[in-house]
Structure 1
Amino acid sequence: MRFYFLLCFFSLSFSTLAQELYLDDLFPAKAAVTETYAVKDGEALKLDIFQPAKDTARSRPLIIFMHGGGFAGGSRLNEAEVKFAQAAAKKGYVVALISYRLTRKEQSFGCDYKAAGKIETFQKAAEDFMDAAQFLISKKEQYGIDPARIIAGGSSAGAEAVLNAVYNDALMFANYETYENVNFSGVFSLAGAIVDARYITPKNAIPGVFFHGTDDNLVPYATAPHHQCDTNAPGYLILDGSKTITKKLKDLNSSYLLYSFEGGRHEHSGMPFQHLDAVFRFFKEAFFEGRRIQAEVLK
């Protein structure tokens, strides 16, 4: 009986030791805390912060995630992204799901909306994202955030804003020095694109994880018009999607993980729960440990 007890003890101890921070569920998730990170145009912009409970670490990686919705709708409270935030918190992350100005609310963001207006929309959303990042950095002691390990994430319109903020900062911000204290370890993009991949340089070629359908009808997978607009449409705007971005990252010797879904459309802007184990492993190895990984998965 004593031998059986010791065997069970050592088996449990080995199992506990085998679990890895940022990969396995090591903690319960705390209830979300809501903060207002800015007030713009009379609107309070809020974010929800998810944290691991019973975690003694004073400095933890942060994921800031921006929801989709065509800059007209969507919510930080959507079920899938809340589930993702709770899952990440259990692994030791702090996660912030953010709201931002929906400047196209009850208006079109399609081919009938002028291209210059689309770029301005990207700029305002990118600014909101960076303001949220600055706010969270200012609260690093309160929430146990490591400002050297921040992941910028987004879905659809949110991914467009985030990717433009990270890779097209020269196009998005009149004075990027405003955000010189904000540095990202990596990006997590679900069906996103940027204005111009030529602005990705060795300085801002941050590693990333990308999910995209090859036949996305709204946000281009490679390089194509936004919303597949005709050349004579007011909203004709060429964007560079996940395939083009990752090619640039490859050329610049940066790390990336690209999931391409053959024939997939914009549904791949949804949270890829069945692939999150690989996503979190890439976060840990490429973003935090600095391993050079260039990987593509065709589904």
Structure 2
Amino acid sequence: MMESIEAEKLTKSNLNKSQKKRLFNGKGYLWGLLFVLPALIIFGLFLWLPIFKGVLNSFYDVDFVKGNSFVGLANYKTIFADPNVLISIKNTLYYMALALVIGFWVPILFALCISEMRRFQGIARVAAYLPYVVPFVVLYGVWRWLYDPVGPLNAVLKAIGIGQINFMVDRNWSMISIVIMETWQSFGSALLIYLAAILSVPRDWYEAAEIDGAGIWHRVRYITLPAIRNQIMLLLMLQLIATSQGFQTQYAMLDGGPNNATLTYALLIIRYAFVRQDYGVASALGVLMFLALSILAIMQYRMNNKGGVQS
């Protein structure tokens, strides 16, 4: 009888401890939620509310004076009837492809070279990152001078017998010129990420490979590249998303010219919104871009779940 009473008391004690623990965890969760709440409010006000407003405006003729009027799918019909939309999509895809072909491998190559340096590695890192801190206004002015028909690049080309190239006027060179400039300006930030990943690879692996007689190429191919594969895939996805929204350089350097050769999809949205002041069509264009980028984000999320990319 006494044993059953003691067992009952022990059970009640354990239940009270469990209830107190749950209560404590609930309070801890509540306090955590209170700390996160300001960030959630800011996130909702400045991100999700504009997204919702943009989707809503895509079905209206937006007029800040007379008020908005519902037009249904008319804005989307305007998009599909505008030939510049197809041109901007082609230019955006071309821009994304050029950024991959010309610019994506540059930070990887430089990171590999710097990681193999025995001396002056710190100076090389700083020198590679410096273009990233150059103000855009200065950057555009310098590269306009470099690309000028009588500028230094054409002077070098003439000296070696190639001849003059109209980088800013020739539609075959205008987008390529922009990608080269942006690659030079922005590869330093990606380089630091790749370099950090390379330097985190255990040095024992390289030492064992050297003992087995592996050269630089074999070490890079069989050790370094597989080790930084996750970072490569992650930055690839981020670059695709970033270049799909590119408009700043195209607008500042050539305003979409020559003859719409650098008119990107995002720049077309800017024209509809701030030149034509047709915010309804601009919102509809933004909604379509949002859907396309959401697909890329879902792809990245699935790659994360499958282990293809790990942050």
| TM-score, normalised via structure 1 length | 0.29
The structure that is helix-richer by fraction is 2
The structure that is strand-richer by fraction is 1
> Which structure has the larger Rg?
2
